[in-house]
Amino acid sequence: MAKIEKKYYTVQDKEDLKLLHQHIVESDILAVDTETTGLNPRKDKIVGWSVSGDEGIGFYLPTLVWNFDKGELELQTIDGTSTETISRNLLNLLKGKKLVFHNASFDVQFIKNYLGVDLLPDVWVDTGLLVHTVFEEGAFGFGNPFGLKSIAKMNQKELGLDMDKAANDEQVELKESIKGNGGSVTKDLYEIYKADLDILSKYA
């Protein structure tokens, strides 16, 4: 199976921000995802979001990063501007694009509630709904029938990818990082923001 060359950017400076901006402007179809402090869009926060307009390329813009010394989430800035303000500007550039989400209602709600940008009219594909439409029982036999990893595993031959090892390695690395930093990885409390930033960025 083919191995895709991967290039991930954790956007924390002006140079990478320019690349992210250019990537959004030049892409017609973009996959979008959010990382959050929890599952409730009314009270939980976005700690960062990711976007990809091409295979093997991903940008993660952290908005809140866990400060291990202070034991709290801290708002990030680039050149004196908060990454939440930067996020609003960049997310508005996604309007009019064809946006791909997995469980779009979750991400779109969080983006609207937390950052004030409504991307619902621009949702082109929800991979969770798509797989349910094509295969009513989802990726049955591959794990969580409507989980992104399960769907990728079910379609790996058609995609020309080896998903088993890659997906497991990334999830194991993420969980080990969270636990190693004193965070919780239970279903009720999954403190993804306590992972090392480079590992969280790669996962996102």
Q: What is the average per-residue pLDDT within 165-189?
A: 83
Which residue in 110, 100, 136 sits closest to 46, CA to CA? 110
Please give the structure tokens belonging to residue 97: 């694009």
pLDDT confidence band for 131 (50 / 70 / 90)? low
Average pLDDT score over the chain: 86
Q: What is the pLDDT of residue 95?
A: 98
Pairing between β-strand 81-82 and β-strand 77-78 as defined by DSSP bridges:
antiparallel
The answer to whether residue 148 scores a pLDDT higher than 80 is: no
How far is the C-alpha of 98 from the C-alpha of 27, rounded, in Å? 9
The answer to whether residue 202 scores a pLDDT higher than 80 is: yes
The answer to whether residue 50 scores a pLDDT higher than 60 is: yes
Q: What is the pLDDT of residue 128?
A: 74
Q: What is the pLDDT of residue 188?
A: 85
Tens-digit pLDDT profile for residues 179-201: 999 999 888 898 999 999 999 99
| Element holding 165 (H helix, E strand) | helix 163-180
Under a CB-based contact definition with an 8 Å cutoff, are residues 161 and 2 in contact? yes
- For the chain, domains (ranges, CATH) are 7-203 (3.30.420.10)
DSSP labels for 64-125?
EEEETTTTEEEE-EETTEEHHHHHHHHHHHTTTSEEEESSHHHHHHHIIIII----GGGEEE
pLDDT confidence band for 144 (50 / 70 / 90)? low
Centre a 10 Å sphere on the Cβ of residue 10 and count the other Cβ atoms it contains: 19
Q: What is the average per-residue pLDDT within 60-80?
A: 96
Q: What is the average per-residue pLDDT within 54-83?
A: 96
The answer to whether residue 10 scores a pLDDT higher than 80 is: yes
How far is the C-alpha of 183 from the C-alpha of 190, rounded, in Å? 8
Q: What is the pLDDT of residue 40?
A: 92
pLDDT confidence band for 168 (50 / 70 / 90)? low
pLDDT confidence band for 1 (50 / 70 / 90)? very low
Which residue in 64, 46, 63, 51 sits closest to 8, CA to CA? 51
Which residue in 122, 120, 143, 139 sits closest to 130, CA to CA? 139
Q: What is the average per-residue pLDDT within 40-63?
A: 95
